[in-house]
Structure 1
Amino acid sequence: MQSHFGPHLQQMDRSSRIISLLDKVCMKIEPSQHQYDLAEERYLAVGKWIAGAADDLLQNSSICVQGSFATSTAIRPPEQSEYDVDLLCYVPNDDLSLQPISLKKALGDRLRQHATYGKMLEEKARCWRLNYANEFHMDITPAIPNQACQNGGCLVPDKELRRWKESNPRGYSKLFKARAALEPRFEKYESFGIESAHDSVEPFPKRKEMQGFLRRIVQLSKFSRDFYFSKKSIALWPISIIITTLTSRSYEFCVGKYVFQDELDLLCKVVEHMPDTISCKDGISWQILNETTTGENFAEKWNTDPERAKAFFAWHQKFLEDLRKLRVSVGLDVIRKDLSDSFGVEAVTEVFDDITTEVSSARQKQKLAVSAELGLTTDSSCRAIIPKNTFYGFVQER
């Protein structure tokens, strides 16, 4: 009798292994557990120091993580060994007469009072940066409450320090985590790939929270962007908050609408629908609004530099084409080339070097299998085991 699985099972088998390779790529570019532990240690220390300030402007201040570490989507910046850790110093002062430049100065003065921080301190346009050599740098942005925001938003300085502008990092992170918790539905088959799975200093996000489809898709999208624009103008690349926002919206839409063949189908559909919630009025006014507050448009720079919008859509089309090509790739050599074309040679080479080591170890342990789609693999669930190879040939089981 003919199997009900047929070629679809073969596609599932190949797709799941490609997803496994993509997962390994993400593991190469995301912070290690040691780096997470270091970041948490530094974060707690600087938060405690700021909270102990005598300056009235910093009284009752609290600190929290924002950006990619808050959503657990951090990846290694291109051409850098240091990760970006973005922090928010929240001061419960709702006096709008307080000037951004004054609060920023008070924050900088407090950091300079510390024997270590004073030597590491670098002033940026809206924040203060602590440079931990060969580890990461922490950007600390001052903020005050936004009484007009019903979602508990805040106000942060603009780049000129002339006015306050709307933001809501805490609300944004909460919304992202809610979307990340949504479970996609798959056709009949089990998932082989990624697991679905009042202090002055808020808890630092745990690394285990990085598991999950949405976070991996964001990481892959950002890594694709980094490689694509490394050969073009980095000044035009879409900022990470745009990629994270569009990916999370698309993920929510796709999970509610589709039943997926496999994880690779999920990845392709989420990337395909990323532009759907971009708004453009009269063909000139781009909007990607922050849903957790009012007045924050992540695409505001697209309106002063239209080339940024063109660059986003060009990258997005290339990324989608790369994923669709990868979906039909057969054989490790072809898959390796396609992955390198999408994400660069360095991380992909590291992944395949690890696979070579695993295969060598598995051969010694007689756990090496052969897959018609991929070639050699350490997954022997549905493939023939290759006998151990010695200098004298294959050793037969007795």
Structure 2
Amino acid sequence: VDPASFPDPIVLLDMIEERLRASGVYKDKVTRKNRCIRLFFDKFHLDILPACPMPSTGLYGEYAVVVPDCDADDWKPSNPRGYAKWFDFMAQEAIIRFMKSVEPLPEQQSCDELSTLSLGVQLLKRNRDIVFENKPKRAPISIVLTTLAAQNYHGQPSVSEAIAAVLDGIVAMIPNIANRRLVVLNPTNLEEDLSERWDDAPEAYLDFVSWIREFRDQWRQLIELRGVGIHKISAVLERMFGERITKEVVEEHIRAYEEPRQSGGLAVERGTGLIVPATVVLSTPIRRNTFYGKE
């Protein structure tokens, strides 16, 4: 699409929506969004986003585009393809830097390591959904959280360490000057302010600041609970991420320990009381639970 052919990009969205509503297959699935036409299916939705190539400055700027924006009634800069490439790069590059700093770089990184940032982003968004359940219009949008997380991830191998670093980093980025907000630019198209909606909704920005600081404090408290018992940790996790997800995770955690325990693979480390593999020196094996008083 050539933007010069559609000086009013909303006309282009109107044409796409009209064509879809004329279809017997899609007419009941169509919803107009600010920048796209969304088709709802049983288990997923599909966004149709018309875009015009418009290379820009920034990483992967060759993929930059302009897209329709109903609120602005104009074309707005964006770069969805470049952003996806940037996020993957940030996740992998941070891990490589971390590994080089602690030990020789292995020949190949595992999939689990490469997913740490993505898992951290999922937890960040899950807590956001819980906290803003009753005021969803004030919730920070996912692209802002994803960008901030990627910018503050430094290759930590565990999700726990990664989230701690991300939250500390985001809090440190918040300006301490009155009437100034955190500006989150699209790193692949510096002309796009991903956080621009905070200009018209300062109360939403204040809610974001309050939430991210509270989440940071809660995460620190959660880390301090290590070793105090799964029931106490579960109570905190339920408040942070919801009862259903917490229950599923705790049950999976218990199964992960129960299997090696029954096979004699777990022990208690002397002096620390930590549960460790039975092969660790100076540890006492944990007996298999037979439920009838004998081994």
Tell me the TM-score range normalised by the shorter chain: 0.7 to 0.9
Task: Compute the TM-score of the two structures, normalised by the length of structure 2.
Answer: 0.78
Q: 1:163 aligns with which of 74, 88, 92?
A: 74
State whether residues 168 and 216 of structure 2, in contact with CA within 8 Å, keep that contact through their aligned partners in structure 1.
yes
What is the deviation of 1:148? 5.7
Instruction: Please name the residue that 1:238 is paired with.
Output: 140
The answer as to 2:244 corresponding to 1:342 is: no
State whether residues 288 and 299 of structure 1, in contact with CA within 8 Å, keep that contact through their aligned partners in structure 2.
yes
Structure 1 residues 9-28: aligned runs within 5 Å: none
The answer as to 2:268 corresponding to 1:366 is: no
Instruction: Please name the residue that 2:13 is paired with.
Output: 104
State whether residues 100 and 161 of structure 1, in contact with CA within 8 Å, keep that contact through their aligned partners in structure 2.
no
Cα gap change, 1:369/1:103 in structure 2, threshold over 3 Å: closer, same or farther?
same
Instruction: Please name the residue that 1:123 is paired with.
Output: 32
What is the deviation of 1:354? 3.0
Q: 1:318 aligns with which of 214, 229, 254?
A: 214
The answer as to 2:60 corresponding to 1:138 is: no
Instruction: Please name the residue that 1:185 is paired with.
Output: 98
Structure 1 residues 202-221: aligned runs within 5 Å: 211-221=114-124
What is the deviation of 1:160? 3.8
Structure 1 residues 144-159: aligned runs within 5 Å: 144-146=52-54, 151-159=62-70
Structure 1 residues 1-398: aligned runs within 5 Å: 91=1, 93-95=2-4, 97-112=6-21, 114-133=23-42, 135-146=43-54, 151-160=62-71, 162-182=73-93, 183=95, 185=98, 197=110, 211-230=114-133, 233-251=135-153, 254=154, 264-277=160-173, 283-284=179-180, 286-329=182-225, 330=227, 331-357=229-255, 365-367=262-264, 369=266, 371=268, 380=278, 382=280, 384-390=284-290, 392-395=292-295
Q: Deviations over 1:60-101 (max 9, x none)?
A: xxxxxxxxxxxxxxxxxxxxxxxxxxxxxxx4x242544312
Q: Distance in 2 between matches of 1:280 and 1:99?
A: 40
Deviates more, 1:280-289 or 1:238-247: 280-289
The Cα RMSD (Å) is: 3.5
Q: 1:217 aligns to what SS in structure 2?
A: helix
Cα gap change, 1:129/1:361 in structure 2, threshold over 3 Å: closer, same or farther?
same
Q: Distance in 2 between matches of 1:273 and 1:113?
A: 49
State whether residues 149 and 166 of structure 2, in contact with CA within 8 Å, keep that contact through their aligned partners in structure 1.
yes
State whether residues 120 and 163 of structure 2, in contact with CA within 8 Å, keep that contact through their aligned partners in structure 1.
yes
Q: Distance in 2 between matches of 1:154 and 1:278?
A: 29
Instruction: Please name the residue that 1:43 is paired with.
Output: none
What letter corresponds to residue 124 of structure 1 in structure 2? K
What letter corresponds to residue 219 of structure 1 in structure 2? Q
Q: 2:150 aligns to what SS in structure 1?
A: helix
Cα gap change, 1:264/1:352 in structure 2, threshold over 3 Å: closer, same or farther?
closer
Q: Distance in 1 between matches of 2:72 and 2:123?
A: 34
Q: Distance in 2 between matches of 1:180 and 1:224?
A: 21
What is the deviation of 1:291? 2.3
Q: Distance in 2 between matches of 1:319 and 1:297?
A: 24
State whether residues 242 and 299 of structure 1, in contact with CA within 8 Å, keep that contact through their aligned partners in structure 2.
yes
Q: Distance in 2 between matches of 1:337 and 1:293?
A: 42
State whether residues 148 and 170 of structure 2, in contact with CA within 8 Å, keep that contact through their aligned partners in structure 1.
yes
Q: Deviations over 1:127-172 (max 9, x none)?
A: 2221112x11122222112256653311111124721111111111
Q: 1:95 aligns to what SS in structure 2?
A: helix
Cα gap change, 1:349/1:229 in structure 2, threshold over 3 Å: closer, same or farther?
same
What letter corresponds to residue 132 of structure 1 in structure 2? F
Q: Distance in 1 between matches of 2:266 and 2:14?
A: 62
State whether residues 129 and 137 of structure 1, in contact with CA within 8 Å, keep that contact through their aligned partners in structure 2.
yes
What is the deviation of 1:325? 0.9
Structure 1: gaps of 5 or more residues: 1-90, 198-207
